[in-house]
Amino acid sequence: MENQEQLTSTAIDSDCMRCNSGGRVVSDLDTGAVLKYEVRHNEQLGRYLVAAQDIKAGDLVFRAEPLVSGLQPGCAPLCLGCYGPLPPVDDPEDLRCPTCGWLLCSEECIFSLRHQPECEATARSGVPVNIYDPTAHDPLYDCVILIRCLMLKTKDPEKWNALESMEALESTRRPKLQKRKAKALCALLTARFGLPASEKEMLRLLAVLEVNAYEVRMPTNNVQAVYPVASLPEHNCIPNTFRTFEKDLSLCVRATRDIPKGDHITVTYTDSLWPTPERRSHLFYSKHFLCVCERCTDPTEMGSFLSALRCKQKDGNGDNAFCQGAVLPENPLTPPAKNEEEYKQEIWHCRRCDYKVTGLIAREITRRAIDAVHELDDSDESGPQEYENLLIELQKHLYSSHSTIVDVKHTLLHLYSPQYCTKRKLKRKETLCREIIRVADKLFSGISSLKGTVYYELGMTILETIKRDDETDPSKESKLKEASDSFEMSLNHLQFIPDCQPEWCVAEQAHHKIHELQNKLQLKERK
């Protein structure tokens, strides 16, 4: 992959907005502008957002800075100032904050505002933190975000009130383990850091983080952050907004497609490439609600068949061929099963014949497939041929667009590097690109980073194919146009990615390929 210096050295087109901005995403939020959303309330949703005006695809709906942020539970230590990786050192003492003992990567981070709450609380306790291994998780790191929350009470009451006002789903019964955890944390934070909190207050704080915290992708480990306003949009498995995170953790929420005035503004709290049973189960156990959106209600998931198994019944023609139809749940809105008996009550049926299986069998088939993928992912021998072999096995049991199949195809897509592919493998990569785009088009009606990266791969594959073709091939010009169109589609989907995210480099490469191909096509027209 070309590095950033190479990317920025390409000739600048004075008429190109992206060239003139140096590839940066220019914020279109005027601080004096009228808000594009309204906060409303009803008994079913609580507080939610609607569009206060017509919003165009790509428009910034709102930008929010985090109220509080911290490491994800259980993750390896990161610098508490910048969330970057800690540099390798012979002696951890070289990384310690002289005031509190927490590990940081630089003097600048030692004095950063983000680090001050835990630094002050630890210093006040009189006992510095003593972490011996900067590469291994220490349970004290799980306390950092809680310390930062509790310090808001005295340091920034306005932010504390905003945190307190967030939804905690207090009517939901919490497991006994959560209550024991809250009690233990209260004792630890009081004794170790001098931050008293009642068990009820801690239980609510944990619930607020569970329900409202966003996972923010970082280069080495992800962190979590809580934002005002960002907790208000309701969930939908086909959301009309997408989110990006800036270097300072600011959250930008933009429209994936046009949103008419008065429409609800929605986000997704789960992975859009998970099938319905997994999405609904994740939402039920992590966010404490069951989604009943249009996609969850449709057994075919908007025609993507992401949940579908392959029918194993003989077709009755006497040639021992299988039906091969899509086996789907009869009722996709069945609540997640709590035990085997409940799974047995679920019925999945073929859309082409009378074949039926229980939810227990469907779950076991899916589980075995996922385990096989994870096993290969962790293997030392996980090249393209191994994934192709696995794909053949998986497609005996799973429908051609099942989420696990799509996952393996996506892995294969990136394993096939165009310049090292034979012609046959180039054709295979092109086919994989088109198959993934076909599924993505069903699930993402507007802007999508998945479509952006796959369109880029498609464009690069077509370009490599052109290089291998005969110079006199009459289809060369139309292929150049198709490659250029693919890069334009890629940039259309990735143009709002900030330069701190890996997809930004893909967007820049697509941007420069567009100019390169446009120049080629213009030269051909002049001849």
Q: pLDDT digits over 445-496, tens only?
A: 899 999 999 999 999 999 999 988 877 777 888 899 999 999 999 999 999 9
Give me the residues paired with residue 49 across strands: 39
CA 200 to chain CA centroid, Å, is: 32
pLDDT of residue 176: 73
pLDDT of residue 376: 96
pLDDT of residue 6: 42
Range of weakest confidence among 13-22, 110-119, 187-196: 13-22
Rg over CA atoms, the chain:
26
Average pLDDT over residues 260-286: 95
pLDDT band for position 394 (50/70/90)? very high
pLDDT of residue 70: 95
CA distances from 350 to 204, 298, 312, 344, 395 (A): 45, 15, 9, 17, 16
pLDDT of residue 3: 44
* Mean confidence (pLDDT) of the chain: 89
pLDDT of residue 33: 65
Claim: this prediction has a pTM higher than 0.85: yes
pLDDT of residue 266: 97
pLDDT of residue 134: 87
Query: Is pLDDT above 60 for 153?
Result: yes
pLDDT of residue 477: 84
Query: Is pLDDT above 70 for 8?
Result: no
What is the helix, strand, coil percentage profile of the chain, to 5?
A: 45, 10, 45
Query: Is pLDDT above 70 for 321?
Result: yes
CA angle 173, 176, 179 (to 5 degrees): 90
For 435, the enclosing helix (H) or strand (E) is: helix 423-443
Q: Is 301 left (phi over 0), alpha (psi -120 to 50) or beta?
A: left
Range of weakest confidence among 65-69, 336-340, 449-453: 336-340
pLDDT of residue 5: 40
> Over the stretch 409-435, which tens digit does the pLDDT of each residue have?
999 999 999 989 999 999 999 999 999
Query: Is pLDDT above 60 for 381?
Result: yes
Whole-angstrom distance, CA of residue 228 vs CA of residue 164: 11
pLDDT band for position 4 (50/70/90)? very low
pLDDT of residue 444: 92
Q: Which two tokens stand for residue 402?
A: 């099942």
pLDDT of residue 280: 96
Query: Is pLDDT above 50 for 296?
Result: yes
pLDDT of residue 287: 85
pLDDT of residue 2: 42
Give me the residues paired with residue 347 across strands: 358
Whole-angstrom distance, CA of residue 479 vs CA of residue 491: 18
80-111 per-residue burial string, b: 16 or more CB within 10 A, e: under 16: bbbbbbbeeeeebeebbbeebbbbbbeeebbe
Q: Which two tokens stand for residue 170?
A: 């207090």
pLDDT of residue 469: 82
Beta strands across the sheet bearing 214-216 = 68-71, 223-226, 214-216
CA distances from 390 to 383, 402, 411, 418 (A): 11, 14, 12, 22
pLDDT of residue 7: 44
Average pLDDT over residues 58-74: 94
pLDDT of residue 16: 73
pLDDT of residue 245: 93
Q: What is the share, in percent, of the chain residues with pLDDT greater than 90? A: 70
Query: Is pLDDT above 80 for 171?
Result: no
Query: Is pLDDT above 60 for 26?
Result: no
| Strands 60-64 and 46-51, bridge-based pairing | unpaired
Average pLDDT over residues 369-378: 96
